[in-house]
Chains A and B, each alone.
Chain A
Amino acid sequence: MSVSAPGAGPVVFDPYSLPSNDNVNPYAFSVELDGQWFLQKGKMIAYYGQVDFHAIGHGPLDRLVAANFHSPLHAADWVVAQGRGKMLLADRSYDINSYDLDEGNLTIRSGNLLAFQPGLALKQSIIPGFLTLIGTGTFVAASNGAVHFVEPPIRVDPQALVGWADCPSPCHHYDHAYMRGVLGGIRALTGIGGASGEEHQFEFSGAGQVLLQSTETLMGEVNTGGVPGQAGPGVPGAGAGR
């Protein structure tokens, strides 16, 4: 992606040339829909074909939801896409990746999960703000920057953590060395003298994989409903009326 030749046209996609259950580019994923997928609200950007979106709640998909969706806390944020066609998913131009689980389990930050196949069951993790997927199937997740896989034992920054697979057990870890002594105590209580901001980590031990994103900035969730003048920087349309 350096200097492109003048006049070189962009790639044009149609329903036949769009990839099937694969990335279109690092920021968008194309789902070949034939049946149902669960997806988080507002992550569908376009589709070809005949697709209906059903809210999770009482309705025609009662049995599907009962079998695969076990998180009342997040029910309002999720929908079921039903039908046939090609559907494009994206999220705040984050990096998008798909993962296949085979009789496995994976826990992920709830805001990073975009969509999953009904072969997987969604449950709330006992860690607040994380969701666990159990079963067999594909799911799509977003990360702010590329995802890195690391193996325990490891300590990770809470903001850089995307999720973990198989069975490492996470716990909080605090560096308390800086609290020793009178001066250290004052520093810990008041922050005077400087705290590095890295005294708190998540510690993983056991067998499995830990997924990290390459930034510590958790971009704010999109404040849906704001008028363009109030939208944050980097959002085209934010400058309207200025």
Chain B
Amino acid sequence: MDIFLQQVINGLVLGSVYALVALGYTMVYGILGLINFAHGDVVMVGAFTGLALLKALLAAGTGLPIALAGAALGAVLACGLLGVAIERIAYRPLRHAPRLAPLITAIGVSILIQYVAAILWSKQYLALPAAFTPATWQIGGASVTDLQVLIVLLAGVLMAALLWLIHGTKLGCAMRATEQNAEVAGLMGINTNRVIAATFLIGSALAALAGIMVLLYYGVAHYFMGFMLGLKAFTAAVLGGIGSVPGAMLGGLMLGLIESLASGYIGDFTGGVFGSNYRDVFAFIVLILVLVLRPAGLLGKAQGERA
């Protein structure tokens, strides 16, 4: 079995998920200058609502593809509403407050969502119904499942659609204008509050789909799963250059590959002292290196543009 190819495949899958979540961080940061630390928990809510819907639909006798589509749609709606509600209730009243206030609020929202989910569902790991046994193909000594292909393809389509939305539609133009100068955007007749709400809606919808991908890939959901995933996606956004949409995509994929390859080879390099259970370390090594060596990130804007 070819370890390198296998880790590249795994890294691409992981990276696709990171990229989808990183987009939510970077879009909100671009438009509000705020790190929405509750974003990882929106992913968790996506996984939980997706799981609940999936179980209900399968129990009602629905076929697997339709049950999956229904669960994805339901999770997108639930998370979209949640994202818009978070902005409206928690962040908008603090729009002109000192920066520390919304940051601490974001952490508070994150904890609130985690424990509401724990109460609503469970503090235990919830497993996927047994209906899922992905088909496996062998390619050049590595194995790839149909689920992995689906995740990477869907993430690619979503990212292409997002780029089209941002650069090819009126809403996207309004989003970019609001990001660059919200006051002047208002002078152009743009309802900037609505544009900001749309940004949260889009970011949260992507998070919902990422949550379902994680659920299907690992087979479990847990109320705390958004924490580590959120930190890693945030790292990916910083790696690509926070505020940059293509940066979040690139950063997500790179982080997935780095993590996957590093955890695949760490045993060989350290003579078995460290194993792949140290995989979470690499994201934060990357975060520290980026912050020290290139704080603006790979595709980031020059520093100092925003106060």
A and B co-occur in one complex? no
Show the binding face of A for B, using Cβ within 8 Å: none
Show the binding face of B for A, using Cβ within 8 Å: none
